[in-house]
A and B are shown apart, each in its own frame.
Chain A
Amino acid sequence: MNTLALGLDRTRVELKQYAREKEAVFFNFLFPILMLGLFSVIFSGQFDDPESKAIDLNAGRMFLPGMIAAGVLLTSFQTMALAVAVERDDGTLKRIRSTPLPPVAYFLGKIGLVAVTSVAQVVVLLAIAKFAFHVTLPTDSGRWLTFLWVFGLGIVSGVVLGIAYSSLGTARSVGAVVIAPVLILQFISGVYFPFKSIPDWMQITASVFPLKWIAQGMRSVFLPEGMVADEMARSWEHGRTAAILVAWSIIGLILCVRAFKWFKRGTT
């Protein structure tokens, strides 16, 4: 079989394993969906004012961009960092390395897994937002184009950074090493709170990492145009967002290629 066909087969196997792993399904796949539901219900009373009604803003619409951004981070970065660290530790990578499977096919399988789960997740998020919480979704193609490139770059940077980051943890420490920073990033990047209500130094810290930019890009897609005034730069900064996400993707790719290890420390 050629590498592409093997990659597709790996994707199938990865999806099976993922779907059968209840923790992964909950913490990566369902988490943003549940959070969107919770936030939409809890804060529904805060958007009853005529001002919000005039711009068609409700709690669901307010939190949807953040939850999509968090979902991108979880299904790409967190899934990759956790899975690869565990697979390095439990010998899965060594077993794969002991067969003639091309390494590229292994990574294609991972990319396929992330592509399928993240697209499925965002579809569910959008459907719930629209049908359960009556969020007005954009209708112009320009906004959906922005959505596509922000989503795509978010996923690509998340995958390569996740694979690179996996080298920092072992199966035992990986929970703390991966989940803690991911959680903190979500809090300081404007996922759960409006970004403008976060202290300056936290905003600056968050601006180094991709999540803030993914969330901002998603806000530019889903929020009413006038809310650009709430942004730090009074602009959606699409150019800068693209540049930063591309930069992180390149850095991640270089780290992957240079630092990827098939065997856990101390064995080989």
Chain B
Amino acid sequence: MEAAITLRGLRKTYAGHAAVDGIDLEVREGECFALLGPNGAGKTTTVEILEGFRKPDEGQVSVLGTNPWEAPRHWRNRIGIVLQSSTGLDNLTPREVLTTTAKAYTNPRSVEEVIDAVGLEEKADARIAGLSGGQRRRVDVGLGIIGRPELLFLDEPTTGFDPQARRDFWGLIERLGAQGTTILLTTHYLDEAEHLADRVGVVAAGKLLALDTPANLGGRNTEEAIVTWEEAGTRHTVRTATPTAEVSRLAARLGGPTGEVPGLTVARPTLEDIYLQLIAPHLADSTSADTTGGAR
């Protein structure tokens, strides 16, 4: 597989503070990659460099085989950007906005197809001012994919969504992924990353701390599991590298005729647990990064 994005030794400094401090990263074609990290970690700076909006101080950047900062305008035919929030379209309808935006691209999707894909059929001719937050976000995604991009940037796409809207939105992103679109996602929601991403990268203090599949990140798959059960009216907890053996022993000891252990749970650390462990040592750093004006 080819790499859609390649970063080598990326560095970007603002007023002596390194917002991005040597990041190496490869995102494969067709992959959904999630970039996680606290505010001020360098996520937005990294993404904006990839989008060609900021000039890196050091390092090699290749996005679809082109250096974004020096990319010719037609390079933008191949990428789609869903910005963090977009206003300023209130007086237009989704159909009007999509129609005019499509004209800038050489090989756009049809407006109908996009309205359908983002589920805005019923609101296609309503003023955007009257749409809910989730519906507006769908307009943003529609604008991001109207040009039939090979690579889609999604910046915190579901902030402020209700649970049902998030599920629907995830479905939309999965369908895009299934069509072969490479997706770079930044998010604060670990469950979102776990659900959508093939791989996740955790960034803090301008460095890439970990890079793996959501299931394996930070040794999550080999971490000790926590087994809890009830015995004689109290709750017992055991941490173990061999939870299956532990449960077998419990079943033999406490299961009785049905083999059921009362109140049994077996838990692995969640992606959130691992993430918080990873970034904990950098939190003081990243707070100062936020105030010294790193990304946004």
Q: Are A267 and B91 in contact (CB under 8 A)?
A: no
How many chain A residues touch B (CB < 8 A): the figure is 29
Q: Interface digits, B67-100 against A, CB 8 Å rule (1 contact, 0 not)?
A: 0000001101100010111111101100010001
Picked from B53, B77, B147, the residue with its CB within 8 Å of the CB of A97 is B53
Residues of B within 8 A of A9 (CB): 100, 103
CA distance A92 to B89 in the complex (A): 8
A263 at the interface (CB under 8 A from B): yes
Bound complex: CA A8 to CA B46 (Å)? 35
CB closest chain-B residue, reference A1: B103
- A91 to B89 Cα, complex, angstroms: 10
B77 touches A267 (CB 8 A): no
Q: List the A side residues contacting B127 at CB < 8 Å.
A: 20
Q: Which residues of A contact B101 (CB under 8 A)?
A: 99
- Which residues of B are found within 8 Å of A16, using beta-carbon distances? 91-92, 96
B-side interface residues, number (CB < 8 Å) = 30
Q: Is B20 an interface residue (CB 8 A)?
A: no
Knowing A99-B147, A100-B104 touch, does A91 contact B54 (C-beta < 8 A)? no
- Answer whether A100 and B100 are a contact pair too, CB < 8 Å, given A90-B86, A90-B87: no
Least CB distance, A79 to chain B, in whole angstroms: 14
A95 to B296: give the CA distance in the assembly, Å.
16
Contact with B along A63-86 (1 / 0, CB 8 A): 000000000000000000000001
* Chain B 126-148 interface 0/1 with A at a Cβ cutoff of 8 Å (1 = within): 01000000000000000100010
With both chains docked as a complex, state the minimum distance between the C-beta of B78 and any C-beta of chain A, in angstroms: 9
A100 and B77 form a contact (CB under 8 A): yes
Q: What are some 17 contacts across the A-B interface (CB < 8 A)?
A: A6-B103, A9-B103, A13-B96, A16-B96, A17-B91, A17-B92, A20-B92, A91-B85, A91-B87, A92-B88, A94-B53, A97-B53, A98-B83, A99-B76, A99-B105, A100-B77, A263-B53
The 7 closest A-B pairs by CB, nearest first: A92-B88, A20-B91, A101-B104, A90-B88, A98-B81, A100-B76, A90-B87
